[in-house]
Amino acid sequence: MSRIATIEIDGKKYELPIIEGSENELAIDIKKLRGLTGGITTIDPGYKNTGSCESAITFLDGEKGILRYRGYSIEDLAEKANFLEVAFLLIFGELPSVDELEKFHEDIKAQAHVDEDVKKIIDGFPKAAHPMGVLSSLTSALVAFNPASVNVDSEEEMYNAIVRILGKFPVLTAWAYRKQAGFPLEYGDNSLGYVDNFLKMMFKKPAAEYESNQIVVDALNKLLILHADHEQNCSTSTVRIVGSSNAGLFVSLSAGINALWGPLHGGANQAVIEMLEAIKEDGGDTKKYMAKAKDKSDPFRLMGFGHRVYKNFDPRAKIIKVAADEVLEALGVEDPILEIAKGLEKEALEDSYFVDRKLYPNVDFYSGIIYRALGIPTEMFTPMFALGRLPGWIAQWREMRLRKEPIGRPRQVYIGETYRKFISANKR
Ligand code: ACO
């Protein structure tokens, strides 16, 4: 039986349908609200109570700490799948067969290069440029070299644009790092797996052989999978809303990269390590920083803590915490900031400020510690997040296009001046 919500405004009742998701989530469908009421709208800054779309890609239950891609639990995927399988699953809806995965990888490999002129653009950036800015600029610039990727309407055109960006994005990410590190901009080796090839592109030193390290490859696969999608977060909503104007895949992704950069979103992974380093330099006094985080007159927040949706625990953080211990041990790395992180977590989980506000470690709290152990420099943490989130952004963009969603254009409630007569400059 279909459910109805009734709202009453000035004594007049309006009925609105309630839609139900496959996990029994209920949402009042307000599409017809303005028409029915003669112009009344809703307001919800930060969209804390507003669904922007129906989506079949990712399910998360913030109260129970559940995260699933296309129905598969994040725990299973992080343990058993590789990143490219998960990318295929997110984008096309099903886990690939062996043949499908091989074709997908071959199609990506065929695109794993960029126009040599891209190097000239990279040369124009100062060495100190943050790699996220370089990455978003280069992703936009790719359109100039691949104009056919803009107007993609058919599934075939979408597929071509998708494998193109999945091939080129790791190159751009690695080169953003190599530029900063002063290494020559070189390619990897297409005989390697997607993640291993990326690592080679990042770390191959001139005049030295690159040696694959399975521990590093497995750890990065896991991290990328854990970051691959997270339904309608800030960057994904950005990708969908930019894409809704038919602006094209690459520029929509570029906008998503910029949204991810902020320290309240993907930039938190860099901010966490900087915070832990600062605590270490300050003598490891975690209590002092706990007090700062709770002090409302101090803008400091405990980075890597809290989440808009998870109000119990972030299942990704649980997996990453275990992985951090395993990876550091396997690589023989001892990192004093891991102990500081564990100490902070313990204190926060026993502190009523954090408990009452349901603030738990999020995906970014421990990820930076693993990235560091893998040899990835701090400024590259957020680009690594972007590399992981790429399939999710693509899947959400493709879903939006296939569902022919309308252009995103929110309403507002105007609170400025009412009509005023113009006064010429000499009379003001
Ligand atoms: N440290 C201290 N206090 C916090 C923190 C924190 N990390 N996070 C939230 N709070 C407090 C707020 O001050 C607020 O307190 P109040 O009710 O007394 O005013 C309350 O908890 C609720 O916080 P909001 O900011 O309203 O929660 P919101 O859902 O809007 O924000 C966010 C979520 C942005 C993630 C926030 O928790 C935060 O800034 N965390 C630190 C940054 C971070 O780790 N971001 C990564 C998120 S995961 C991701 O994007 C991949």
Q: What is the DSSP string of 364-423?
A: HHHHHHHHHHTT--GGGHHHHHHHHHHHHHHHHHHHHHHTTPPPP-------S-------
Q: Which amino acid is at 248?
A: G
Best probe residue, ligand 1, of 294, 308, 385 (max atoms within 8 Å of C-beta): 308
Give every residue of the chain whose pLDDT is below 70, as ranges. 1
Cβ atoms of residues 153 and 161 within 8 Å: no
In DSSP terms, 27 is beta-bridged to 19
Cβ atoms of residues 302 and 289 within 8 Å: yes
From 195, 193, 201, 187, select the one nearest 216 (Cα to Cα): 195
Q: Which amino acid is at 352?
A: S
In DSSP terms, 292 is beta-bridged to none
Answer yes or no: 113 catalytic.
Answer: no
Position in ligand 1 atom list of the atom nearest CA 314: 48
Please work out, in degrees rounded to the nearest 5, the angle formed at the alpha carbon of residue 82 by the alpha carbons of 79 and 83: 115
Those residues with Cβ within 8 angstroms of residue 260's Cβ, 6 or more apart along the chain or in another chain = 132, 234, 235, 266, 267, 382, 385, 386, 389
Q: Which pair of tokens denotes residue 202?
A: 């990042």
Q: What's the pLDDT score for residue 9?
A: 96
Answer yes or no: 115 catalytic.
Answer: no
Q: How many helices (H) and strands (E) does the chain have?
A: 18, 6
Checking DSSP bridges between strand 58-61 and strand 3-9, what pairing results, if any? unpaired
State the chain's mean pLDDT as an integer: 94
How far is it, in rounded angstroms, from Cα 108 to Cα 357?
44
* Centroid of ligand 1 to alpha carbon of 54 (angstroms): 26
Position in ligand 1 atom list of the atom nearest CA 296: 13
3-class secondary-structure state, position 311:
coil
Q: Give ligand 1 pocket residues (Cβ under 6 A).
A: 264-266, 268, 293, 301-308, 357, 359, 362-364
From 257, 220, 171, 239, select the one nearest 375 (Cα to Cα): 220
Minimal-distance CA residue to ligand 1 atom 26: 308
Q: What's the pLDDT score for residue 146?
A: 85
Count CB atoms within 10 A of the CB of residue 287.
Answer: 11
Best probe residue, ligand 1, of 67, 305, 309, 320 (max atoms within 8 Å of C-beta): 305
Minimal-distance CA residue to ligand 1 atom 44: 304
Position in ligand 1 atom list of the atom nearest CA 362: 48
Best probe residue, ligand 1, of 227, 309, 362, 363 (max atoms within 8 Å of C-beta): 362
> From the candidates 196, 265, 307, 314, which is the catalytic residue?
307
